[in-house]
Amino acid sequence: MNPKTYIIILNYQTWADTIECLESVLRNDYLNYQIIVIDNNSPNDSMHYIKDWADGKLYVRPEPEKSDNSLRHLSHPPSSKPLPYVFYTKEEAEKGGNKNLELKCKNPLILIQTNYNGGFAFGSNVGIKYALAKDDFEYLWLLNNDTVIERDSLTKLVEKFQEYKKHKKKVGMIGSKVLFYRDPNIINAAGGGTYNKWFGVGKLLGTFQEDKGQYNVSELKIESVYGASCFLRKDFIHEIGIMCEDYFLYYEEEDLAFRGKQKGWQLGYCWQSKVYHKQGLSIDLNSKEEDKSEFADYYWLRNRIVFTKKFFPTYLLSVYLGFIGAIFNRIRRKQYKRIKLIWKILKS
Q: Are 53 and 139 within one domain? A: yes
User: d(Cα 259, Cα 337) in Å, to the nearest integer?
Assistant: 35
Chain centroid to Cα 279, Å, comes to 11
User: d(Cα 223, Cα 194) in Å, to the nearest integer?
Assistant: 5
The answer as to whether 283 is a domain residue is: no
Looking at residue 230, its pLDDT comes to 98
Across residues 103-132, what is the average pLDDT? Answer: 96
Say which range, 89-93, 172-176, 225-229, 340-344, has the weakest mean pLDDT: 340-344
Say which range, 42-46, 306-310, 316-320, 340-344, has the weakest mean pLDDT: 340-344
* Helices of type H across the chain: 15-25, 46-55, 90-94, 99-103, 120-134, 153-166, 234-240, 252-262, 294-311, 316-332, 337-347
User: d(Cα 318, Cα 181) in Å, to the nearest integer?
Assistant: 36
Looking at residue 70, its pLDDT comes to 83
Q: Name the residue with higher pLDDT: 280 or 251.
A: 251
The answer as to whether 160 is a domain residue is: yes
Asked if pLDDT for residue 284 goes beyond 80, the answer is: no
Q: Are 200 and 330 within one domain? A: no
Q: Are 266 and 313 within one domain? A: no
Looking at residue 283, its pLDDT comes to 43
User: d(Cα 227, Cα 97) in Å, to the nearest integer?
Assistant: 26
CA distances in angstroms from 81 to 51, 55, 143, 270, 298, listed in the order given: 11, 6, 23, 32, 42
Q: Domain boundary residue among 257, 277, 297?
A: 277
CATH of the domain at 181: 3.90.550.60
The answer as to whether 243 is a domain residue is: yes
The answer as to whether 302 is a domain residue is: yes
Q: Are 86 and 158 within one domain? A: yes
**Other CB atoms within 10 Å distance of the CB of residue 238:** 10
Mind listing the pLDDT tens digit for each residue in 176-235? Answer: 999 999 999 999 999 999 999 999 999 999 999 999 999 999 999 999 999 999 999 999
CA distances in angstroms from 341 to 116, 121, 198, 301, listed in the order given: 24, 23, 22, 9
Counted domains in the chain = 2
| DSSP-derived pairing of the beta strands 85-89 and 109-113 | parallel
User: d(Cα 251, Cα 224) in Å, to the nearest integer?
Assistant: 9
Label residue 64 by pLDDT band (50, 70, 90).
low
Label residue 173 by pLDDT band (50, 70, 90).
very high
The answer as to whether 147 is a domain residue is: yes
User: d(Cα 338, Cα 168) in Å, to the nearest integer?
Assistant: 49
User: How many residues make up the chain in this entry?
Assistant: 348
Label residue 285 by pLDDT band (50, 70, 90).
very low
Pair 330, 336: CB distance under 8 Å: yes
User: d(Cα 147, Cα 317) in Å, to the nearest integer?
Assistant: 38
pTM: 0.94
Looking at residue 202, its pLDDT comes to 93
Label residue 294 by pLDDT band (50, 70, 90).
confident
Looking at residue 228, its pLDDT comes to 97
Closest by alpha carbon to 115, among 143, 96, 141, 87? 87
The answer as to whether 297 is a domain residue is: yes
Q: Are 326 and 226 within one domain? A: no
Closest by alpha carbon to 93, among 130, 142, 54? 130
Q: Are 231 and 300 within one domain? A: no
Asked if pLDDT for residue 94 goes beyond 80, the answer is: yes
Integer Rg of the chain from CA: 20
The answer as to whether 284 is a domain residue is: no
Q: Are 214 and 330 within one domain? A: no
Q: Domain boundary residue among 277, 303, 321?
A: 277
Looking at residue 348, its pLDDT comes to 76
Q: Are 134 and 42 within one domain? A: yes
The answer as to whether 282 is a domain residue is: no
Looking at residue 106, its pLDDT comes to 85
Q: Are 176 and 321 within one domain? A: no
Asked if pLDDT for residue 119 goes beyond 50, the answer is: yes
Q: Domain boundary residue among 250, 277, 304?
A: 277
Closest by alpha carbon to 107, among 53, 47, 36? 36
Looking at residue 110, its pLDDT comes to 98
Looking at residue 290, its pLDDT comes to 54
Asked if pLDDT for residue 278 goes beyond 80, the answer is: yes
What does pLDDT average to over the chain? Answer: 92
Q: Are 341 and 260 within one domain? A: no
CB burial of 318-342 (b: ≥16 within 10 Å; e: otherwise) equals: ebeebbeebeeebeeeebeebeebb
Label residue 282 by pLDDT band (50, 70, 90).
very low
CA distances in angstroms from 187 to 21, 170, 214, 274, listed in the order given: 19, 27, 11, 10
Looking at residue 150, its pLDDT comes to 98
Mind listing the pLDDT tens digit for each residue in 65-83? Answer: 544 568 999 999 999 999 9
Domain ranges, residue 266: 5-277
Q: Are 188 and 299 within one domain? A: no
Q: Are 269 and 299 within one domain? A: no
Q: Name the residue with higher pLDDT: 282 or 63.
A: 63
